[in-house]
Amino acid sequence: MNHTTRTHNLARLQDDIREANLSYLMVAQHMIRTDRAEAQLRLGITEEVVDVIDGLTPGQLARVAASNMLVCRFSCDDKIVWDLLAEHGRRDAAAGLHASIVMASRPLEAA
Amino acid sequence: MKPQRSLVAEARDVERVRTLVKLGARLQLLESVSSLSRERLSRIYKEALGKSPPKGMLPFSTEWFMTWQPNIHSSLFLNLYQRVIKSSDIDDTDALILAYRLYQEQVTMLGHSEALSITRAWCLLRFVSSNMLTLAPCSCCGGRYVVHTYELVKNYRCGLCAPPSRAGKGRAWSSLQNEGQPAVA
């Protein structure tokens, strides 16, 4: 019983991850094909990775998505940005702008 | 005689000028980023907006960028612009357009109005390229903000980490929310 629940949960988790990966990759590919420069900025990834995602065929995209790891990462790993984003609209009208500036100030990540 | 310009290049120029006009660019900006004559620029302006371009000088002081709300908006724009330049190989004018659009989008999404017009944004870029203004990191939040190049910025704290006493309260607060008529129309 315990074992079957575990297998069931694991299968569900893998489904969720695959779906998140698939959405991310499809949105990313669509953005890249619409406006490359803008997409690169919004996605916060290097030109190399942009090329790779752009070149994925639908079959490859599905295979990459079917992994047990998430392919996308947080673009802000700074506590200050999280605090500011969570704060926005509650007390401090400028917190959202503050978070945007701190995020835009950070060097581009070599993914 | 002037060398023949490619028609494709010219068409691209016209399209770009139209985009800039719709974003609110003044004639001086258009003249500096395109090779079209002043007359043609005026015509494009009239066709796009149905009125003549405003005349008169552009503001030429760096002080505006140092005041509280404009400084916040300019810093956001300049960071976005530098990111665009670093992350792709588009030219300066396309980068101006893209960064300004991203700035507009972000500010609108947060419920503020644009305090920085595209003409001001372009002035800012000129001040930066002539080494009058630059970005310096805030010692508190790590964000980078517009400062005078030769100011002492060792322990600089930005206007958001250390707001001036009147900011964030009363009129200044609501002006951040509601006002924001672009100072350069």
Average pLDDT, chain B: 86
Q: Exposed/middle/buried for A15, CB within 10 Å: 0-12, 13-18, 19+?
A: exposed
Tell me if B94 and A37 make a contact (CB, 8 A cut-off). Answer: yes
Q: What proportion of chain B, given as a percentage, has pLDDT over 90?
A: 62
Tell me if B144 and A105 make a contact (CB, 8 A cut-off). Answer: yes
Query: Residue B184 above 60 pLDDT?
Result: no
Q: Note the pLDDT of residue B39.
A: 93
Interface of A with B in 62-91 (CB under 8 A): 78, 80, 88-89
Asked whether the beta carbons of B73 and B49 are under 8 A apart, the reply is no
Averaged pLDDT for residues B21-42: 93
Residue B3 corresponds to which amino acid? P
Tell me if B110 and A101 make a contact (CB, 8 A cut-off). Answer: no
**b/e for A86-101, b at 16 or more Cβ within 10 A?**
eebeeebbbbbbbbbb
Q: Note the pLDDT of residue B81.
A: 96
Whole-angstrom distance, CA of residue B114 vs CA of residue B94:
20
**b/e for A56-83, b at 16 or more Cβ within 10 A?**
beeeebeebbeeeeeebeeeeeeebbee
Helix residue ranges per DSSP H, chain A: 2-34, 36-43, 47-55, 58-65, 79-87, 95-105
Query: Residue B171 above 60 pLDDT?
Result: no
Enter the tokens of residue A93.
């009208």
Q: Note the pLDDT of residue B57.
A: 85
Sequential DSSP letters for A9-35 = HHHHHHHHHHHHHHHHHHHHHHHHHH-
* Interface test mutation site (partner B, options A32, A77, A97, max chain B beta carbons within 10 A): A97
Structure confidence by residue, pLDDT tens digits, B84-139: 998 888 899 999 999 999 999 999 998 888 999 999 999 999 999 999 999 999 99
* Interface test mutation site (partner A, options B88, B176, B177, max chain A beta carbons within 10 A): B88
**Neighbour tally for B32: CB within 10 Å:** 10
**Neighbour tally for B113: CB within 10 Å:** 16
Q: How far A104 CA sits from the closest chain B CA (Å)?
A: 6
Whole-angstrom distance, CA of residue B54 vs CA of residue B33:
18
Report which of residues B144 and A106 the model is more confident about. Answer: B144
Q: Note the pLDDT of residue B168.
A: 52
Q: Note the pLDDT of residue B76.
A: 96
Query: Residue B143 above 60 pLDDT?
Result: yes
pTM: 0.83
Q: Note the pLDDT of residue A110.
A: 45
Coil, helix or strand at residue B143:
coil
Instruction: DSSP letter for B132, please.
Output: S
**What is the interface pTM, i.e. ipTM, of the complex?**
0.80
Averaged pLDDT for residues B5-11: 87
Averaged pLDDT for residues B141-152: 89
Tell me if A37 and B90 make a contact (CB, 8 A cut-off). Answer: yes
* Interface test mutation site (partner A, options B19, B71, B83, max chain A beta carbons within 10 A): B83
Helix axes B68-87, B118-129, angle to 10 degrees: 70
Tell me if B110 and A105 make a contact (CB, 8 A cut-off). Answer: no
Query: Residue B56 above 60 pLDDT?
Result: yes
Q: Note the pLDDT of residue B65.
A: 95
Largest Cα separation within chain A, whole Å, is 53
Averaged pLDDT for residues B138-145: 91
Q: Which residues in chain A come in under a pLDDT of 50?
A: 110-111
Tell me if B141 and A100 make a contact (CB, 8 A cut-off). Answer: no
Which residues of chain A are within 8 Å of residue B74 when distances are taken between CB atoms?
A: none
**b/e for B147-173, b at 16 or more Cβ within 10 A?**
bbeeeebeebebbbbebeeebbeeebb
Whole-angstrom distance, CA of residue B39 vs CA of residue B176:
38
